[in-house]
Amino acid sequence: MASVVLFFSPGSCSRVTLVALEETGVDYTVQRVLLANGEQRRPEFRAVNPKGKVPALLVDNRVLTENVAILTFLARRHPEAGLLPAADPWQEAEALSLLSWCASGLHPLVTRLRLPQRFCDLPGSADRVRELAREEMIGQLSVAEERLSRQPWMLGQAWSIADTYLAWAWGRCPESGIDATRFPHLCRHHDRTMARPAAQRAIRREATG
C-alpha cells in the first residue's frame, strides 16, 4: 500500500486534487499549507516543493507537483475512478486539453481577479488589472457556457475531473464581480459538480485538515 500525502491550502486549486483523491477512495493524509499566512515560503515546505505552490502530492517519498500532472497520474493509477476517460485516447486527450485550459487559461485569470497586486503594484493599478482580467474571463467562460448548454458535463454525458477544475475556477468568479446570471449553465454545472459525494468529503477534509 502506497503512502500518499497531499499538501494543500483550503479554498485553493488544491481542492481539485482533494476531490480526485476522494473519488479514487485511496487512503491518504493531508498537510495544510496556509497560503494567506505565507506558509508556502517556509523552508520546510520549500523542501517539498521548491516552487512554493500547492498542491504537492507525496507518494512513497516521491513528490509530484502541478494539478494537471497529479490528476493525470491519479487517473491512470486508478482508472476505475473515472477521473479521465481511459478507453479512448482521443477522449483522454480532450480531457487533458480541458484540464490544461483550466490550469493555464482560467486559473491565472482567477489570480488576477483576486490578487491584482501580484501583476502590477503601481498605485491605483489594481482596478485596471481586475477590469482586464474580468473582460478576458467573461470571454473564456462563454466557451464553457455554450458547451454546457448542449450537454451536462464538459466532455458530454460523463463527469471527469476537468469538470471539478472548471467548477473551482467558476466558483471564484461571482465573488470577483462577474455577473452569475450571465452564466446559468455554469451555475448549474458548479452546483451539480460540488454536490458529488467526493466533493462534499473534500470540502469537509479542507475544514478539518
Residue 86's pLDDT is 86
pLDDT of residue 67: 97
Q: What is the CATH number of domain 89-194?
A: 1.20.1050.10
Predicted confidence (pLDDT) per residue in 78-89, tens digit: 999 999 998 889
pLDDT given at position 114: 93
Q: What is the CATH number of domain 4-82+197-208?
A: 3.40.30.10
Domains 4-82+197-208 and 89-194 share a fold: no
Task: Say if CB 99 and CB 160 are below 8 A apart.
Answer: no
In the chain, where are the structural domains located?
Answer: 4-82+197-208, 89-194
Q: For position 109, what pLDDT does the model report?
A: 97
Sites in the chain below the pLDDT cut of 70: 1
Q: What is the pLDDT, as a whole number, of residue 1?
A: 59
Half-sphere exposure of residue 189, counting CA atoms within 13 Å on the CB side? Answer: 34
Q: Helix H segments across the chain?
A: 14-24, 43-46, 67-77, 89-101, 107-114, 126-148, 161-171, 184-194, 197-208
User: 161-171 vs 184-194: helix axis angle to the nearest 10?
Assistant: 120
